[in-house]
Amino acid sequence: MADFRLVISDPKSGKAYKLEVSGAKANKLIGKAIGDTIEGQLIGLLDYKLYVSGGSDKDGVAMRHDLPGAGRKRLLLSSGVGYHPKSRGVRKRKSIRGCEISAQTGQVNLKVIEAGSKPLDEVIATGVATEQS
């Protein structure tokens, strides 16, 4: 059984909200990839549309949008997600997770692209989004 931390950012308010999901709600996210759009109903946010923008696994290894699959690979990186060198021309081999959400994923980053009737802070504060399905 999977359980994820969801970090939902709202561009209109500039705030980010943390939400824990497990069980059936978390299993509905497995197989989605970075760049996909999901319905908020999957995680209990009615009338919301969310964009999967990134994430990391349970060990903190970042997910990268240009690496297919859900597995972990060691890539030689010069910049981008997972490695930011201090000087030009430096490359380093780093572990990176693929773009698909799997059971090993620990955190999923989401961005609101279509808001619902209630503001996000009200929905999360009242506990509507945290009910088990």
**Each residue of 15-54: b (16+ CB within 10 Å) or e?**
eebebebeeebbebbeebebeeebebebbbbeebbbbbeb
Please report whether residue 38 resides in a domain: yes
Average pLDDT, whole number, for the chain? 91
As given in the structure block, the two tokens for residue 89 are: 């021309």
Instruction: Yes or no: say if 110 and 9 are a contact pair by the CB < 8 Å rule.
Output: yes
pLDDT in tens, 109-125: 999 999 988 888 888 87
Please report whether residue 87 resides in a domain: no
CATH number, residue 120: 3.10.20
- The angle subtended at Cα 64 by Cα 1 and Cα 54, nearest 5°, is 60
pLDDT at 123: 85
Query: What number is the average pLDDT over the span 30-56?
Result: 94
Using alpha carbons, select from 47, 46, 60 the residue that is nearest to residue 5. 60
What domain range includes position 118?
3-68+99-125
Query: What number is the average pLDDT over the span 39-64?
Result: 94
pLDDT at 114: 93
Confidence of residue 133 (pLDDT cuts 50, 70, 90): very low
pLDDT at 102: 95
Please report whether residue 93 resides in a domain: no
Confidence of residue 77 (pLDDT cuts 50, 70, 90): very high
